[in-house]
Amino acid sequence: MTTKTGLLADGEQLWMKFWEKISGKSFKIHHHYSQYIGPKRVRRNWWKKLLVAWIVVGILVSVSVFWYMSSLATEKRKETIASMCDERARMLQDQFNVSMNHIQAMSILISTFYHSKNPSAIDQMTFARYTERTAFERPLTSGVAYAVRVLHSEREQFEKQQGWTIKRMDSIEQTPVHKDEYSSEVPEPSPVQEEYAPVIFAQDTIAHVISLDMLSGEEDRGNILRARESGKGVLTAPFRLIKSNRLGVILTFAVYKMDLPPDATPDERTQATDGYLGGVFDVESLVEKLLQQLASKQTILVNVYDTTNISHPISMYGSNVSDDGLQHVSALNFGDPFRKHEMRCRFKHKPPWPWLATTTSIGILVIALLVGQIFHATVNRIAKVEDDYHDMMELKKRAEAADIAKSQFLATVSHEIRTPMNGVLGMLHMLMDTDLDVTQQDYVKTAQGSGRALVSLINEVLDQAKIESGKLELEAVRFDLRAILDDVLSLFSGKSQEKGVELAAYVSDKVPEMLIGDARRFQQIITNLMGNSIKFTEKGHVLVTVHLVEEVVDSVKGETESYSDDTLSGLPVADRRQSWRGFRGFSPDGPIAALPSSSIDEINLIVSVEDTGAGIPSEAQSRIFTPFMQVGPSISRTHGGTGIGLSISKCLVQLMKGEIGFVSLPKMGSTFTFTAVFANGSGNSNNPKGQQINNQSNSISSEFHGVRALVVDPRPARVKVSKYHIERLGICVEVVPDLNRAFSSISTKEATIDVVFIEQEVWDNDFNTSTPFVERLRGTDISVAPKLFLLSNSLSSTRSTVPASGIPASSVVMKPIRASMLAASLQRLMGVGSRGNSCNIELPLSLGDLLRGRRILVVDDNKVNLKVAECFLKKYGADVVRSDGGEEAVSLLEPPHKFDACFMDIQMPKMDGFKATKLIRSIESKVTSQIEQGELSVEAFDNVSSWHVPILAMTADVIQATNEECTKCGMDGYVSKPFDPERLYREVSRFF
């Protein structure tokens, strides 16, 4: 049935395709009619006809099955009655043959012992006793009698010898059995005739036939004459036996003289005949006894017929009552070729109703009707699905149009908001480069912070929109994970210093130096998590740790005790192990096996952000990752925010094939943990940014090679973080818990200690020792005293400690510790290198090297943005030409020209940036082709044979579709508004 349905479905598809081809060539009105009315009506009519045909076929099949199974039952019934009838006929015939053989043997016995012996050895008593004792050998005979042949000339002497008169038989002969009446008469003497056949011996059961002349009866006379002429047994026609009045037959054998040759003629047999031996068969009783021997007697009716006269057969046994008409005829051979007999058998009862055939045919009909119903319902369902499909496609088109409109709306809103913000932030940036007093600088910084907060809010809303539309995609660039964390620490350093909260980051040395992935989105996750921690933490610390998943799993297996107080700030924190309890990657069956890893170059990172803040109430923890949901209504008023940072972070983690979880205890703090999969980027790469950062890190490490440092801090967790950052510079680090041991270590060590880092807490708690420590250190015999650095966490404590400690303010390293900040402080005090105050200015200086002397065209319809871009690029030495429209930009960039790059706004009136770029690429392609074909002289185009000016889109729209459109129209990249030096460096470094 499935195959049939599939074929019908294929036929429908072929019909629909054929109909669509025809309707496509018709007029519009006919097209709409055939599409929405014609095909459905024709198709449904076709289905109805097919359904009716199926039902008719089902009925025909059902009737055929009924007829076939009924025929099988009838044939089975015929075979059964044939078998039973043949069995009875065979048994009756076998037993008749046994009786016939015994009678024939008796005829030989009589010929031997009666006629051949003188005196005779047989008399009536002997014959009667012998036949009675041997009756079992003749199962079908009711009696045996012997009639001697007597000639007329011998009659008188015979009658005197026997003592009785030969009587005639025809006077008591029964009429044919077709009449039931019977009249018994007194036998008369046999009339005069040539010869007689009186019965002289008889079995006691038929002793009444003694003295009767067998030749006086017409039927018996004919049988006797046939018997003596043929020498075989001869049967009479059925007749009513004398006295018993039962139906029977007589089997007659002729008794010959002993010297009769085997091939005697009928005349010779007649002359040699001495008498006639006959066996009486009571057919009714004998057949009844035979059937009683069979267990199935009652199941069928048996009739035995003499069919010598085929037109008028004589019934020998059985009833003429009719039944179901099913009859079987079995032939009987009783040894007399003249007479024909047969057995007719019928079942006693009518055949039962063919329930199996009936139920099977009805079942097939029901199945056909059910299939038809299913077929009908399926067709109706398909029709409904088609209608629903058309409706759904219409709704889908509307939804897609709405989605496009939404994306366009977001792009427009993003552009319209970010464009003026670009002007605001750009001019504020320019204003900071002017001479301002302290109050004015504070006002400008406040305005910059508010502007950046607004831009951040816009970015979050746009990220959420991209996530909902499924258009958020990750980049695959090579980046330095440790540099990313340093940037995030720098972002929150001011806030943490104001609050006095210790902020730190630690990366395991097993994590590769360089990774490949989306650095910007990874930084966004860290920024969101750390921003929340800083926001809700008033004391204690915020710590970011990065490990390999394998490393953490191995360490967890070895941990048996709960977390101790050995934390960064000494305050208790939530057990970070509980934050990943729901991760698939940390299941008991196999922690690492569940993590998605298809290559040995994949790096599975686990990142934890722990804080000692207020914690999250248990009732709010279930909705912590829900967009626009916050812990309580007062949170947004107290701390601000939109409540979508964690939701975005979770989506980004999932895109990175990782998981995110958290554990939080009220008044103790929270720990957020997530995993992410990156590629190993420690090998060679052509990525300019990654190469630059790597070279910078190597150069910093090489400057401090051989420097030895001493860290004074009693807390192991804090020492671990400080040691990590110091060792990143290539410095060898030793650790002591207090100042006395520090002095001992400095004075007794054979190796020189170049730098001493003292924790602010140690300095404050042991202030009586700290001041003499400086004096004792200056009074030692060491040729070059080690440089002292104070690791401070709070601006207020630093202002109160530095004047009294004797340590210059330049020797105070403000936390959070970063490699670049440490390098700048060491370079300043130790005189190593000349890299300025901070390595953070390396990127802008490199940007200036790239842009200095470059002729750049800036295209924007907004005058403020033009001015901001011009000032920003000129700041790094670029020669800037401004244009306020796409048409003018096309004319300015028509070869030959002197521009090294073009920064083009996207959304402009008359001709937008996309269209202008397409025209520029078309003109460049045409000129290049003509130069290659020799139609234009390369000297006329400044000896440049291939023209392609780098065009970077200046866009406030960060929707992914816009970025794809930039690439599609021929742009080489894009920079978002307001300008980001790092992004600008990455883009222009690909061309300069």
Q: What residues have CB less than 8 Å from 812, skipping those under 6 apart?
A: 789, 790, 792, 798, 802
Q: Give pLDDT tens digits for 525-579.
A: 999 999 989 988 999 999 999 999 988 877 766 554 445 567 888 899 988 888 8
For residues 442-469, average pLDDT: 76
Residue 547, SS3 per DSSP: strand
Task: Check whether 36 has a pLDDT greater than 80.
Answer: no
Task: Check whether 912 has a pLDDT greater than 60.
Answer: yes
CA dihedral 579, 583, 587, 590 (to 10 degrees): -120
Domain boundaries, the chain: 2-82+354-414, 121-347, 438-843, 844-988
Q: What residues have CB less than 8 Å from 540, skipping those under 6 apart?
A: 501, 502, 569, 571, 611, 612, 613, 669
| 448-452, 611-615, 934-938, 975-979: range with highest mean pLDDT | 611-615
Task: Look at residue 891 in the predicted model and tell me its pLDDT.
Answer: 92
Residue type, 146: Y
Q: Are 125 and 364 in contact (CB under 8 A)?
A: no
Q: Give pLDDT tens digits for 257-293.
A: 877 788 888 888 888 899 999 998 888 887 887 777 7
Q: Are 301 and 315 in contact (CB under 8 A)?
A: no
CA angle 113-114-117, nearest 5°? 70
**Confidence band of 980 (pLDDT split at 50, 70, 90):** low
Task: Look at residue 630 in the predicted model and tell me its pLDDT.
Answer: 64
**CA-based end-to-end distance of the chain:** 71
Task: Look at residue 565 in the predicted model and tell me its pLDDT.
Answer: 64
844-988: CATH number: 3.40.50.2300
**Confidence band of 3 (pLDDT split at 50, 70, 90):** very low
Task: Look at residue 11 in the predicted model and tell me its pLDDT.
Answer: 43
Q: Give pLDDT tens digits for 718-729.
A: 999 999 999 888
Distance CA 422, CA 977 (A): 6
Task: Look at residue 17 in the predicted model and tell me its pLDDT.
Answer: 53
Least confident segment among 157-161, 231-235, 979-983: 979-983
What length is written for the chain?
992
Q: How far is CA 340 from the centre of its chain?
A: 79
Q: Is 882 left (phi over 0), alpha (psi -120 to 50) or beta?
A: beta
Task: Look at residue 628 in the predicted model and tell me its pLDDT.
Answer: 64
Q: Give pLDDT tens digits for 665-701.
A: 988 999 999 999 999 987 644 443 343 334 445 545 5
Question: Could you give phi then psi for residue 558, rounded to 5 degrees?
Answer: -85, -15
Using alpha carbons, list the distances in angstroms from residue 374 to 370, 380, 382, 807: 6, 10, 12, 93
Task: Check whether 806 has a pLDDT greater than 60.
Answer: no
Task: Look at residue 595 in the predicted model and tell me its pLDDT.
Answer: 46
**Confidence band of 508 (pLDDT split at 50, 70, 90):** very high
Q: What residues have CB less than 8 Å from 364, skipping those under 6 apart?
A: 58, 61, 62, 65
Among candidate residues 469, 470, 461, 453, the one with its CA nearest the CA of residue 413: 461
Task: Look at residue 624 in the predicted model and tell me its pLDDT.
Answer: 85
- 121-347: CATH topology is Beta-Lactamase (3.30.450)
Sheet order of strands, 855-859 included: 879-883, 855-859, 901-905, 951-955, 973-976
**Confidence band of 589 (pLDDT split at 50, 70, 90):** low
Q: Name residue, tokens 């790094």.
A: 876
Among candidate residues 251, 215, 256, 263, the one with its CA nearest the CA of residue 98: 251
Instruction: Work out the mean pLDDT of the chain and round it to a whole number.
Output: 79
For every residue of 400-427, DSSP letters joined together read HHHHHHHHHHHHHHHHHHHHHHHHHHHH
Task: Look at residue 591 in the predicted model and tell me its pLDDT.
Answer: 44
Least confident segment among 115-129, 464-478, 884-898: 464-478
Among candidate residues 844, 834, 910, the one with its CA nearest the CA of residue 877: 844
Q: Give pLDDT tens digits for 141-178.
A: 889 999 999 999 999 999 999 899 999 876 554 444 44
Q: What residues have CB less than 8 Å from 555, skipping those under 6 apart?
A: none
Q: Give pLDDT tens digits for 633-665.
A: 555 444 555 567 888 889 899 999 999 999 999
Task: Look at residue 641 in the predicted model and tell me its pLDDT.
Answer: 56
Neighbour count for residue 548 (Cβ, 10 Å): 16
Using alpha carbons, list the distances in angstroms from residue 889 to 818, 860, 864, 922, 988: 45, 10, 18, 14, 19
Task: Look at residue 915 in the predicted model and tell me its pLDDT.
Answer: 92
Distance CA 940, CA 235 (A): 143
Task: Check whether 967 has a pLDDT greater than 90.
Answer: no
What's the burial of 508, exposed, middle or buried (CB within 10 Å: 0-12/13-18/19+)? middle
**Confidence band of 917 (pLDDT split at 50, 70, 90):** very high
Q: Give pLDDT tens digits for 351-397.
A: 888 888 899 999 999 999 999 898 888 888 888 888 888 999 999 89
Task: Look at residue 881 in the predicted model and tell me its pLDDT.
Answer: 93
Distance CA 567, CA 735 (A): 17
Task: Look at residue 60 in the predicted model and tell me its pLDDT.
Answer: 93
Rg, the chain, Cα only: 63
Task: Look at residue 401 in the predicted model and tell me its pLDDT.
Answer: 84
For residues 412-435, average pLDDT: 77
Task: Look at residue 844 in the predicted model and tell me its pLDDT.
Answer: 38
Task: Check whether 29 has a pLDDT greater than 70.
Answer: no
For residues 890-894, average pLDDT: 92
Task: Look at residue 443 in the predicted model and tell me its pLDDT.
Answer: 84
Least confident segment among 320-324, 414-418, 772-776, 897-901: 320-324
* Buried-exposed string 478-506: b where 16+ CB fall within 10 A, e elsewhere: bbbbbbbbbbbbeebbeebbebebbbbbb
For residues 962-969, average pLDDT: 77
CA dihedral 104, 106, 109, 115 (to 10 degrees): -90
**Confidence band of 433 (pLDDT split at 50, 70, 90):** confident
Task: Check whether 34 has a pLDDT greater than 70.
Answer: no
**Confidence band of 955 (pLDDT split at 50, 70, 90):** confident
Q: Give pLDDT tens digits for 590-635.
A: 444 444 444 568 899 999 999 999 888 888 888 888 876 666 555 5
Task: Look at residue 63 in the predicted model and tell me its pLDDT.
Answer: 92
For residues 429-441, average pLDDT: 81
pTM: 0.53
Q: Which CATH architecture has domain 438-843?
A: 2-Layer Sandwich (3.30)
Task: Check whether 502 has a pLDDT greater than 80.
Answer: yes
For residues 504-529, average pLDDT: 91
Among candidate residues 362, 343, 681, 315, the one with its CA nearest the CA of residue 519: 681
Distance CA 731, CA 922 (A): 57
Among candidate residues 120, 102, 124, the one with its CA nearest the CA of residue 201: 124
Share of the chain above pLDDT 70, in %: 79
**Confidence band of 33 (pLDDT split at 50, 70, 90):** very low
